[in-house]
Amino acid sequence: MPKPWLPLWAAGVAASFALPAVPSWTVLAAAWLCLLALAWRFRAAAWLLLCLSGALYGIWRTQSALDKQWPMFQTASVPLTIEVADLPQRDDKRVRFTAKAVDGGGRHYRLQLSDYQLRDWPAGSRWRVQARVRPPVGEANRTGFNREAWALAGGIGGVGTLGKERRALAGSGPPLLLRWREHISRRWQNTDTHGRDFSDGLGLMRALSIGEQSALSGQAWQSFRPLGLNHLVSISGLHVSMVAVLAGWLVKHGLRVLPFVPKTPRLWVLAAGLSAAVFYAGLAGFSVPTQRSVLMLLALAWAWWRGSGASVWTGWWQALALVLLFDPAAVLGAGFWLSFGLVGALLWASAGRLNERGLRLAVRAQWAVTVVSVVALGSLFASLPLLSPLVNAAAIPWFSWVLVPLALAASLLPLAPLQWLAAAAGEYTLRLVQWVAEYAPEYAVAAAPPLLLPLAAVAALIVLLPRGSGWKPLAWLVLAGFVFYSPNVPQQGRLNVTVWDAGQGLSVWMQTRNRNLLFDTGTETAAAAQILPNLNAAGVRRLDMLVLSHHDADHDGGFAVLAQAGQPREILAGQPQFYPQAAFCEEKQWQW
Q: Is 166 a domain residue?
A: yes
pLDDT value for 353: 56
Q: How confident is the model at residue 590 (pLDDT cuts 50, 70, 90)?
A: confident
* pLDDT at residue number 31: 92
Q: At residue 1, does pLDDT exceed 50? A: no
The C-alpha atoms of residue 496 and residue 1 are separated, in whole angstroms, by 49
On whether both 104 and 151 belong to a single domain, the answer is: yes
Residue 394 lies in a domain: yes
Return the CATH number at 94.
Answer: 2.40.50.140
Region 95-118: what's the mean pLDDT? 92
Q: Does residue 503 sit in the same domain as residue 574? A: yes
pLDDT at 309: 45
The verdict on 438 and 511 lying in the same domain is no
Please report whether residue 491 resides in a domain.
no
Say if 285 falls within a structural domain.
yes
Looking at every residue in the chain, the average pLDDT score rounds to 86
Are residues 150 and 236 part of one domain?
no
Q: pLDDT band for position 359 (50/70/90)?
A: low
At residue 101, does pLDDT exceed 60?
yes
Does the pLDDT value for residue 360 go beyond 80?
no
Residue 209 lies inside a defined structural domain of this protein: no
Q: Are residues 24 and 51 in the same domain?
A: yes
Q: Is the CB of residue 456 less than 8 Å from the CB of residue 479?
A: yes
**Residue 446 DSSP code:** P
- What's CA 507's distance to the chain center, in Å? 23
Give the model confidence (pLDDT) of 248-276 as tens digits.
Answer: 888 888 887 777 777 778 888 888 888 99
What are the helix (H) ranges across 235-309? 237-256, 265-283, 288-306
Judge contact between 194 and 420, C-beta under 8 A. yes
399 and 461 inside one domain: no
Question: According to the model, what pLDDT value does residue 162 have?
Answer: 94
From the list 453, 454, 381, 499, the residue with the least C-alpha distance to 143 is: 381
Which residue type is seen at 187?
Answer: R
Across 453-581, where does the E strand assignment appear? 496-500, 507-511, 516-519, 545-548, 571-573
User: For residues 230 and 257, is the Cβ–Cβ distance under 8 A?
Assistant: no
Instruction: Give the least confident one: 166-180, 406-420, 481-495.
Output: 166-180
Diameter of the chain by CA atoms? 87
* Burial grade of 470 (CB within 10 A; 0-12, 13-18, 19 or more): exposed
CA 268 → CA 248, 306, 541, 561, distances in Å?
8, 15, 54, 49
Tell me which residue of 524, 518, 530 sits closest to 573, measured CA to CA: 518
Same domain flag for 459 and 423:
no
- What's the average model confidence in pLDDT over 568-574? 92
In the beta sheet, which residues pair with residue 291? Answer: none
Domain extent for 134:
77-174
Q: pTM (2 decimals)?
A: 0.82
Domain count, the chain: 5
Pair (400, 505) in one structural domain: no
Say yes or no: 309 and 343 in one domain. yes
**To which H or E segment does residue 368 belong?**
helix 358-381
Rounded to the nearest 10°, the torsion over CA 418, 422, 428, 432 is 150
Cα 534 from Cα 246, distance rounded (Å): 39
pLDDT at residue 356, as a whole number: 57
DSSP label of 216 = S
For 361-382, how does the pLDDT look when each residue is reduced to its tens digit (9 = 90+)?
Answer: 677 777 888 888 889 888 888 8
Weakest-pLDDT range from 204-208, 275-279, 348-352, 580-584: 348-352
Where is pLDDT greater, at 455 or 306? 455
Assess whether pLDDT exceeds 70 at residue 43: yes
Looking at residue 358, what is its pLDDT? 59
Burial 246-275 (b: 16+ CB within 10 A, else e): bbbeebeeeeeeeeeeeeeeeebbbebbbe
* Bridge partner residues of 249 (DSSP): none
Among 414, 444, 474, identify where a domain stops.
Answer: 444
More confident residue, 205 or 91: 205
Question: Which pLDDT score, from 0 to 100, does residue 169 have?
Answer: 92
Q: How far apart are CA 2 and CA 318, in angstroms?
A: 8
pLDDT digits (tens, 9 = 90+) for 221-256: 888 888 888 888 887 777 888 888 888 888 888 887
Q: Is the pLDDT of residue 202 over 80?
A: yes
pLDDT tens digit sequence for 123-167: 889 999 999 999 887 767 778 778 888 888 888 999 999 999 999
Instruction: Let me know if residue 193 belongs to a domain.
Output: no
Query: What Cα–Cα distance (Å) separates residue 422 from each residue in 34, 285, 575?
Result: 62, 21, 42
Q: Write down the pLDDT at residue 307.
A: 64
What's the CATH code of the domain at 566?
3.60.15.10
One domain, residues 136 and 107: yes
Cα 152 vs. chain centroid, distance in angstroms?
Answer: 13
377/294 same-domain check: yes
Q: Is 473 exposed, middle or buried (0-12, 13-18, 19+ CB in 10 A)?
A: exposed
Q: Are residues 459 and 513 in the same domain?
A: no
Range with top average pLDDT, 69-73, 429-433, 563-567: 429-433
Domain contains 344: yes
- For residues 307 and 504, the model is more confident at 504
| Mean pLDDT confidence for 451-465 | 90
* Res 464 pLDDT > 90: no
220 lies in a domain?
no
CA 70 – CA 159 distance, rounded (Å):
9
212, pLDDT greater than 60: yes
487-525: b (≥16 Cβ within 10 Å) or e: eebeeeeeeeeeebbbbbbbbebbbbeeebbbbbbbbbb
